[in-house]
Each structure stands twice: as C-alpha cells, then as structure tokens.
C-alpha cells in the first residue's frame, strides 16, 4: 500500500479532478474521532514532500451523502501546514473522496460539530458564507441553541481579525472569547459545501 503513496500524493489533485464528475466517489459523514496519526510515506530518494501525511480512523455516526456500509472508516489526509485542523475536534462533518480504492480527505473541507439542546448536530457561522457563489443562494445562518457553550479564545487577535473570523451578530464577544450564537445544522452545512467548494470543483 505505502509503496504507491508517493504516486498517490503526486496524483491527488488529478485524481480529485478525475472524480469530480463521479458524485458516487464522495462520502460525507458525521464522524467521531478514533485516531489521527502522522506517517511517513515511502518516496523516491530525491523527492520532496510538500504536505504532512496522516492516517485517520473515525467512527461513522451518520452518513450524509454517498454510500459506505461500515461503522468505522480509515482514510488519509494531507496538510501543508501540519496537523490537520479537523483532528482537533471530537466530532466533525467530514468530506472524503475515493480514488484507487482508498478514501482521502478533501483538503481542508470539514466542519466541527456540536450537539444542540434538541439533540441535533450543528456548527457555528462559517466563513464559507464569504464565497460569492454562496452569497447568491438562499442559504442563511440561523440562531442555534447549542447544548453547551461553543466559544473560541480570541486573546491576542487584532480587532480586524476578530471582525473577520468572529463577526457580529453571529458571535458574541465576551472578554477574550467569541461565543457562537448563529450557525447551521448539518443539512445546510452540506449544502454550503455542495453549492460552494464542491460545485467549484465540479462535483455538482
């Protein structure tokens, strides 16, 4: 398996493009982290890897799009900046594509998920709304009643950064934290990606 990792690494963008007209290559699911571990792919001696490689295992809590018959899933993720951000959260909405019989994470595409008081899954306001293609749709954030406070440390951030990443009224600023007030449920989170990034990549 790992003997072909370098080839897959080089071809990942092209494999993704090739799969873009095949929506059955996509699997989107609500996942619970089991492990995310870095590994070193076998590469040619003179090759330079631009991304860190990770093996991930997740419990499949619910499939949102695509078919996958098992309750756990293994996939690989490649990240230019180090540890993939989705791995920092217990529960996430993950976007995968399949190539050469293996699953790969769609680079940087995920939403952290939190339980709401009525038992649903949701995430806070997303910067995906800044995309021009999303601004032309009927998708809108809504007030979410999270079961527990969802907040982010903003200590050390400039006022401009806070305004960009935690804009009012979608977040409430209290001291050194931004508290999520608005967001979307899973169904609309999928639509955000479907009408935005995934549409731009030719999947839909």
| Per-residue model confidence as pLDDT tens digits over 32-90 | 999 999 998 877 877 777 889 999 999 999 999 999 999 999 999 999 989 999 999 99
The model's pLDDT over 126-148, given as tens digits with 9 standing for 90+, comes to 999 988 877 777 899 999 999 99
pLDDT number for residue 194: 95
pLDDT number for residue 22: 57
Q: 173 and 98 in one domain?
A: no
Q: 77 and 143 in one domain?
A: no
Cis peptide before 161 (omega within 30 of 0): no
Q: 35 and 80 in one domain?
A: yes
Residue 21 reports pLDDT greater than 90: no
Q: Which residue has the higher pLDDT, 154 or 19?
A: 154
Surface-to-core class of residue 142, CB atoms within 10 Å of its CB (0-12 exposed, 13-18 middle, 19+ buried): exposed
pLDDT number for residue 73: 99
Q: Which residues contact 51 (CB under 8 A, 6 or more apart)?
A: 9, 78, 79, 80
Backbone angles phi, psi at 53, to 5 degrees: -110, 140
pLDDT number for residue 45: 79
Q: 138 and 66 in one domain?
A: no
Residue 2's pLDDT band, with cuts at 50, 70 and 90, is very low
Find the DSSP H helices in 4-147.
5-19, 132-135
In terms of residue numbers, what domain contains 169?
121-185
* 75 in Cβ contact with 66 (< 8 Å): no
Dihedral (CA of 97, 99, 103, 104) sign: negative
CATH number at residue 95: 2.40.50
The model's pLDDT over 108-118, given as tens digits with 9 standing for 90+, comes to 999 999 999 99
Q: What is the pTM of this model?
A: 0.86
Residue 9 reports pLDDT greater than 60: no
The answer to whether position 56 is within a domain reads: yes
Q: Can you tell me the distance from the alpha carbon of 115 to that of 8, in angstroms, rounded to the nearest whole number?
A: 36
pLDDT number for residue 104: 96
On average, the pLDDT of the chain sits at 89
Q: 55 and 30 in one domain?
A: yes
């Amino acid at each position: 398996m790992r003997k072909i990792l370098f080839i897959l690494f080089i071809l990942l963008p092209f494999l993704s493009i090739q799969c873009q007209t095949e929506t059955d290559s996509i699997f989107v699911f609500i996942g619970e982290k089991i492990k995310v571990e870095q590994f070193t792919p076998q590469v040619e001696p003179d090759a330079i890897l631009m991304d860190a490689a990770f093996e991930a295992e997740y419990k499949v809590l619910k499939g949102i799009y695509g078919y996958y018959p098992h309750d756990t899933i293994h996939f690989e993720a490649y990240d230019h900046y180090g540890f993939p951000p989705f791995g920092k959260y217990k529960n996430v909405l993950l976007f995968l594509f399949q190539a050469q019989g293996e699953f790969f994470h769609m680079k940087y595409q995920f939403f952290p998920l939190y339980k709401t008081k009525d038992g649903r899954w949701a995430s806070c306001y997303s910067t995906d709304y800044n995309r021009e293609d999303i601004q032309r749709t009927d998708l809108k954030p809504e007030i979410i009643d999270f079961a527990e406070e969802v907040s982010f440390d903003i200590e050390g951030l400039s006022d401009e950064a806070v305004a960009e990443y935690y804009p009012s009224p979608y977040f409430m600023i209290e001291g050194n934290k931004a508290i999520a007030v608005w967001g979307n449920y899973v169904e609309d989170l999928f639509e955000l990606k479907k009408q935005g990034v995934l549409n731009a990549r030719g999947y839909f």
